[in-house]
Structure 1
Amino acid sequence: MADRYMTDHARQRRQQRGISELQIELLRTFGEDLYQKGGECLCFIPEKKLIQLRNALDKLGNVAMIKGDAGQVVTVMHVNQRIRHTQHVA
């Protein structure tokens, strides 16, 4: 998914450096932009924000949400039992 936003050069460097598409998506979502000379910008996740993300991920294991047709969040909950899967699509 992240690959469609990347130049060929970035794709090659990502592969050479062992950086996953998920890591790129996380940078795009949670990263902060630091504008550089020449109009480019450096995107990174500061240490303080990384700590917050790790803490949030640690607590995410039993959290779920119900989404509506338009993708809006209808409700959120803690999941204390097994979630049943269904093939029904509205």
Structure 2
Amino acid sequence: MENRNSSLWIGLGVGSVIGALAYRFSRTSKAKKLKEKVCDAFHKITGQAEDMLDEAGEKVADTGKAVVDKVADKASEFAGKADEFKGKVHTMASEVKK
């Protein structure tokens, strides 16, 4: 039981020292400059990511339009061929009746 408590106190002591040092170094001017640089980099990366998402959305929309146009062209072509076939069938039916 004593060994567990002593480990706890040692851990708390080491953690307190590390926390105090981290706090001390985080208040220096170099740390503030580093924090500003990190924030600037984060904002820059965020802006670039938003631009990339917008560009990707535009490309997807353009691709979708192209696909719809191709499908519409094929459907129109198919409808024309169906009309030709219908005409041929009517012509054949008329000739058979004669």
Same-fold status (TM-score > 0.5): no
Q: Which has the higher strand share?
A: 1
- Higher relative CO (Cα under 8 Å, sequence separation at least 6) belongs to 1
Normalization by structure 1: what TM-score?
A: 0.25
**Which of the pair has more CA radius of gyration?**
2
